[in-house]
Chain A
Amino acid sequence: MVWLTVNGRPTEVAADDDTPLLWLLRETLGLTGTKVGCTSGQCGACSVLVEGRAARSCQLPANSLGDQRITTVEGLGGPLAERLKAAWIAHQVPQCGYCQPGMLVSAVALLSATPEPTPAEIAATLTNLCRCGTFDRISAAIRQASQPPAPPPPQP
């Protein structure tokens, strides 16, 4: 048995200690928004947040996580995630859509750490693969979501 804290909820799941987190999320907890792409950490389709940082869940043995907080695409919330989702829709980013949950999770991690990333910082962080070639729209959506909200009008 392994204890995990997923999307704010502590959960005990039956698993071998070294089962990658990806499979516990998908097969045991039914959180299928986290996609399986390569099972070798190369593609990023399985990206989740571990303590707010992006990680590839196919490379995380269940017993390595301790009580760290795990967030999947289903658990993304708050103003930043909502801003990113809105930007993703505004720019009609997905094509086939398979890589997009991982992209969005990675974008949340990026903007959490670096609210106004440079193009180079976006490129260095968003190393996830997309076979449809939606990169330009991903960049545009991230730029839109990273714009600081308009300042309140000056008080007289």
Chain B
Amino acid sequence: MSDDLPPSPILKLSRRQLLHGAPIAAGSLVLGVTLPGLPALAAPPSFKPTLVTINAWLRLSSREIVVAVPQAEMGQGIMTSLALLVAEELECDWTMVAAELVAPDPAYLNPVLGQVATGESSSLRTTFLPLRRAGAAARLMLTAAAARLWRVPVAECLARAGTVSHPASGRTAGYGALAASAARQPVPEPGAIVLKERARWSLIGHSVPRLDVPAKVDGSAPFALDLALPGLVSAAIRHAPQFGATVTGINDSVARSWPGVIAVVALADAVAVVAQRWHQAQRALKEVTVSWSAPPPELVADDAAALARLRAGLAERNPVITAERGAVEVALKGAERVIAAEYRLPFLAHAPLEPTNATARVTPERCEVWLPTQAPGPLQALLAERLGLKPAQVLVHPTLVGGSFGRRREADAALEAALISRQVGGRPVRLMWSREEDFRHDYYRPAAVVGIQVALDHERRIAAWRQRVVAPSVLARTAPEKVRDGGEPLVTAGIADQPYLIPALRVEYVRCNLGVPVGYWRSDGHSINAFAVECMIDEVAAALHQDPLHLRRNLLAQDSRAMRVLNRAASLIGWGTALPAASPTSRRGRGLACHSTAGTLVAVAAEVTLGDDGVLAVDRLIAVADCGTVVHPDAVEGQLRGGLIFALGATLEQKISLQDGQVTAAGFDDFPLPRLGRLPEITIEVVPSEAGQGGIGEVAVPPLAPAIVNAVSSALGRRVRVLPLSEADLSRSAG
């Protein structure tokens, strides 16, 4: 970090106060952890001297213990959870623990993602062991330092509550006083590190107050847009109205004369106005007239055209088979009966409350960016490449994230801010997209059409399941090396990886590029396929005249975790008990769904009231989860509840529509979010589990839509196969 700039706004969050980041003091204990299977990597220059390959760090002083957090804090409480893992083994006073967001470094590689990034509910799954080992190693080094100081055997020293003691002589020393000499102790051999047994955990599994909460309550929590830099100017931006179009000419003579305007900058697919204040920039931007090229031919004009092209994929003769077990074709040909259905899902926006933004300062020698990001590692590489710099010349300062849901794995705003800064002589530029731009230039959850055929044998059992997903590809843009075989593991997730015991299964993918940018979105393909799979299970149950719970139990008999959450959710909703209608002109229904995402099993049960006029009320939701070992129960509860509410909006009303190749939504009124007072009664239960760490952030999303749609279909007496439900006529007279 340079001397003339204030520190990054991310900061250290401790229980006592919010402190600005400071360079590591010489003599601090800086400790590395090696992730199994990863090659040794050089220590990041800012954290020298370091000892070994580093995945996470902790740093001690007499006042505090700071845990470095390379993950994005998006409200999932990751800063607290990571600090808690270290503190558990360090045997320190929790009130001394702070957490600090840190710049990307190869040492922080997320082994699930293969990047320095946050996503796919992988943070705790990948850090649960290494961070505890980091804490334990530090404890051993502190103990060794004290033993050396006192010239006593290490075995006679005890580390407890931030202090090493030697009971025989009565001597004690605080961790802070020992830090410098502890840093010179050899790092313990892996075999010497013995972790506490589960029964002795005093922090893991306990809901300590989250470190980020106080500053988020009093308004002092710093987000990227709150950053003050000397000479900072603001930029507003307008992108090509049609995806893929480029700027062919601009007339900015009027805009340049507006108060506060500093520059008008043309980028390849956008124009930006730089002004003293954002309000001035946005006002002047409206005065810039731009001519745009025609969009690429693949850009779809509107929803009807998109649906037609997606549906055409159902007839494609050569789909890519992304998973196959058993003889599906044989079973379908010899089936006693085939149940077939087609499910439709729209493009969806992320719509975080914090607008898309980035602040950049670019000189010929250096680029610095401050932004909410889930992917600081890839961003650093991209900026270096696009600006002709070495990665070491690019400094990424990740800030607190004001909602993301996958959106902030993208580099678009940071690259734009950097290019604009370079155009205005290296002044620091704060680029903020308007809300309209945010909705119209997102990387959307792909729209999809999913076709399923289920073969029933003569004993009325499921013999085979064929599922075809027709959708644009996310990975073709974001990770082309993962789709060289033509498959799409992200978009087709949530089918072959499910616990249902189905003898023959085939998953097919047909890529359908509609010219609309698509990207990561909370739970990705699981949000598409859980809807299709779990609705189809109910359709099969209806065809067999079976109770949907009974059918699921039969298909899950071998999976005790899935059975447990399913049975518990069914019990909590009162499955099988009478559900009287509230009025003569309405009916009620219950629905179930069960899905496995990122190692976590979630069953959702829903209860709805459907008026004869088609007006729907979701009355009650139950979610029961087995997330394996829980680090912070209260954070888990928040993520599960929040995930249901996130998915509720997508189930009921949200969709991104196109007209003339342009997104129509311009604000939250066009993409309704659930609000207080319009929510069902929600019950969350996490079952005790000693299974390995499961994901948390995404896992409640996939089963919510099918549980509600199954409940609606039950109340309606016919199947609904489209999302959002506002697209379906739910009145009794329809259908």
The answer to whether A and B assemble together is: yes
User: B677 within 8 Å of A by Cβ?
Assistant: yes
Rounded to whole angstroms, the CA-CA distance of A43 and B438 in the bound complex is: 14
CB distance from B521 to the nearest CB of A (A): 13
Taking a contact as CB atoms under 8 Å apart, the answer to whether A131 and B352 are in contact is yes
Rounded to whole angstroms, the CA-CA distance of A98 and B405 in the bound complex is: 14
CB distance from B354 to the nearest CB of A (A): 5
User: B482 within 8 Å of A by Cβ?
Assistant: no
Rounded to whole angstroms, the CA-CA distance of A66 and B480 in the bound complex is: 58
Closest to B228 in A: A30
User: A138 within 8 Å of B by Cβ?
Assistant: yes
B377-413 CB contact bits vs A (8 Å, 1 = yes)? 0000000000000000000000011111100000000
User: A36 within 8 Å of B by Cβ?
Assistant: yes
User: B225 within 8 Å of A by Cβ?
Assistant: yes
User: A59 within 8 Å of B by Cβ?
Assistant: no
User: A40 within 8 Å of B by Cβ?
Assistant: yes
Rounded to whole angstroms, the CA-CA distance of A111 and B353 in the bound complex is: 25
Q: Which of B338-346, B600-608, B639-647 contacts A (4 or more CB under 8 A)?
A: B639-647
Residue of B74, B216, B400, B674 with most partner-chain A CB within 10 A:
B216
Hey, which chain A residues are within 8 Å of B639, CB to CB?
A: 95
With A30-B228, A98-B223, A122-B677 known as contacts, the answer to whether A39 contacts B645 (CB < 8 A) is: no
Q: Which of B190-198, B206-214, B532-540 contacts A (4 or more CB under 8 A)?
A: B206-214
Rounded to whole angstroms, the CA-CA distance of A126 and B226 in the bound complex is: 24
Among A19, A126, A133, contact of B674 (Cβ-Cβ < 8 Å):
A133
With A73-B219, A104-B217 known as contacts, the answer to whether A99 contacts B679 (CB < 8 A) is: no
Among A19, A33, A36, A130, contact of B355 (Cβ-Cβ < 8 Å):
A36
Taking a contact as CB atoms under 8 Å apart, the answer to whether B216 and A139 are in contact is no
Taking a contact as CB atoms under 8 Å apart, the answer to whether A88 and B668 are in contact is no
User: B160 within 8 Å of A by Cβ?
Assistant: no
Residue of A93, A122, A129 with most partner-chain B CB within 10 A:
A129
Rounded to whole angstroms, the CA-CA distance of A33 and B221 in the bound complex is: 8
User: A64 within 8 Å of B by Cβ?
Assistant: no
User: A32 within 8 Å of B by Cβ?
Assistant: yes
Taking a contact as CB atoms under 8 Å apart, the answer to whether B676 and A96 are in contact is no
User: B186 within 8 Å of A by Cβ?
Assistant: no
Among B210, B277, B641, B667, contact of A136 (Cβ-Cβ < 8 Å):
B641
Hey, which chain B residues are within 8 Å of A36, CB to CB?
A: 225, 355, 432
A49-92 CB contact bits vs B (8 Å, 1 = yes)? 00000000000000000000000111000000000010011001
Rounded to whole angstroms, the CA-CA distance of A72 and B220 in the bound complex is: 12
Taking a contact as CB atoms under 8 Å apart, the answer to whether B667 and A40 are in contact is yes
Taking a contact as CB atoms under 8 Å apart, the answer to whether B353 and A45 are in contact is yes
Among B222, B279, B668, B676, contact of A19 (Cβ-Cβ < 8 Å):
B279
Rounded to whole angstroms, the CA-CA distance of A125 and B510 in the bound complex is: 47
Rounded to whole angstroms, the CA-CA distance of A137 and B75 in the bound complex is: 14
User: B351 within 8 Å of A by Cβ?
Assistant: yes
Hey, which chain B residues are within 8 Å of A129, CB to CB?
A: 353, 668, 673, 675
With A33-B218, A36-B355 known as contacts, the answer to whether A135 contacts B674 (CB < 8 A) is: yes
CB distance from A131 to the nearest CB of B (A): 5
Taking a contact as CB atoms under 8 Å apart, the answer to whether A97 and B75 are in contact is yes
Taking a contact as CB atoms under 8 Å apart, the answer to whether A27 and B216 are in contact is no
Hey, which chain A residues are within 8 Å of B434, CB to CB?
A: 39
Closest to B679 in A: A135
Hey, which chain B residues are within 8 Å of A98, CB to CB?
A: 223, 352-354, 402-403
CB distance from B445 to the nearest CB of A (A): 14
User: What are 30 A-B residue pairs whose CB atoms fall within 8 Å in the complex?
Assistant: A32-B219, A32-B223, A35-B354, A36-B355, A37-B353, A38-B355, A39-B282, A42-B668, A43-B353, A85-B217, A88-B213, A95-B77, A96-B74, A96-B404, A98-B353, A98-B402, A100-B216, A100-B217, A104-B219, A120-B677, A126-B676, A129-B675, A131-B405, A131-B646, A132-B646, A134-B638, A135-B675, A135-B676, A136-B679, A136-B682
**Which residues of A come within 8 Å of B, CB atoms?**
16, 19-20, 23, 26-27, 30, 32-40, 42-43, 45, 72-74, 85, 88-89, 92-101, 104, 119-120, 122-124, 126-127, 129-139
